[in-house]
Copies of this chain bind each other. A is one copy, B any other.
Amino acid sequence: MQQPMEEEKVFKDPVHKYIYVQDQTIWDLINTREFQRLRRIRQLGTCFLTFHGAEHSRFSHSLGVYEVTRKIISQFERNQYEDWPREERLLCLCAALLHDVGHGPFSHSIEKTFGTHHEDWSCRIVLGNTEVNEVLKRVSPTFPQQVAGVIAKTYQQEIVVSLVSSQLDADRMDYLLRDAYFTGVNYGTFDLERILRVMRPYQGHIVVKESGMHAVEDYLMSRYQMYWQVYFHPVTRSAEVVLHKIFQRAKQLFEEGYPFHFLLEPLPSLFGNRLTTEEYHLLDEALMQTVLMQWTMEEDAVLADLCSRFLQRRLFKYVTLEIMDVGMLERLREKMGNLGLDPSYYLEVDFPSDQSYDVYRPGEQDEKLPILLLDAHDTLTEISRKSEIVRSISGIQNGKYHLYYPQELVLKHLPALDKEIRKLLRS
């Protein structure tokens, strides 16, 4: 049962000025304990160690995705576009609000180490024995299934899925603007109103009027710039490396039966890959940081050292590798071992890559919906065919190889290294 609110409510938001809530279901979802938990998960993980303003949470981003979706739909309704399926409104809004509800703390590192997936968790929370599920069931018994379908991208109506997950979706639009705002860079500031005005529902797709091509180019360039200047910033990556090493070490110790002085529930379940939804709820960033802090006092020197590095921001240094010299890397590992620095935990080569825009290749794994331009003759054309700029950022862009290592290696042990390595680490 859908129910408008007696009086529209607002949240003050620095990115969208205000976020408007007009449905009781949305209001109730925001007030569930699962959604409130997102306040305790930072949106950009370790990025705050590079851009100190980036301390915003997934809570504010989730509200933002909801608001962008609401604006798009409100525009579709105001203009009475025929190809817009009006009955899908609430479903879109709920999926937009909840698509990140399954995010855990420091998702990238934790997912990489323990094989969890935040999208799976979003679906488990939507479908499980949760307050979110309870609210959704009040709309209709099958509504949770539908919401989960949109999140999992299996819902049959492409147009609904594409509002929340495509290459021009509410999720990206909010995070580019929001992350730019909080970090203070201005690469992410495209003209949201203009993009919204050129979007159209058309034959089951969301498409863009051809006259809006330059606006879409600008949006894609924002995404490109945010990736290379913010998300892939080498200092952020260094923090990710250290964090990943911590989890790897802890897992290793756990499996070896190491007697942790401090090990809070639900960490054993996380290590054992058997988390329940209820346990997952406890796993927020506060808990992870508290654990890291306690582990600075563990007896295992590697774990204690890595944790205090992370908390005190004594991250790994890095050098850019022009070429990937496997031989030299092998020698470096060996040397480090000899010097008492386990290279499994103190050395990493990182190689960031991204696709700012992915030309649609049907049948490929993880295929992404393309951006289609609608011209005056009602013909649809995939945008990279018309825009040289989009072509230039299509396909995979690679950064450079970066070698991460602790500075002591240089400060203390440099003479012990061979000449070539010395030269590299000094550059």
Contact = CB atoms under 8 A, between A and B. Distances in A.
B376 A427 contact: yes
Contact of A56 (B53, B59, B284, B392): B53
Interface string A15-58: 10110000000000001110011011000000010011101110
Nearest to A388: B392
Interface stretch (A94-102, A177-185, A249-257, A330-338): A177-185
Interface stretch (A119-127, A186-194, A407-415): A186-194
A48 B40 CA distance: 11
Contact of A79 (B8, B181, B185): B8
Nearest to A30: B313
A286 B282 contact: no
A287 B287 CA distance: 7
Contacts of A185: 12, 191
Nearest to A18: B193
A40 B290 CA distance: 10
Interface residues of A, number: 74
B33 A312 contact: yes
Nearest to A376: B427
Contact of A14 (B182, B214, B218): B182
A8 B56 CA distance: 28
Given A36-B313, A293-B284, A51 B12 contact: yes
A11 B193 CA distance: 12
Nearest to A225: B218
Interface of A: 7-8, 10-15, 17-18, 31-33, 36-37, 39-40, 48, 51-53, 55-57, 59-60, 63, 78-79, 181-187, 189-191, 193, 197, 214-215, 217-218, 221, 224-225, 228-229, 264, 282, 284-290, 293-294, 308, 311-314, 376, 388-389, 391-393, 397, 427
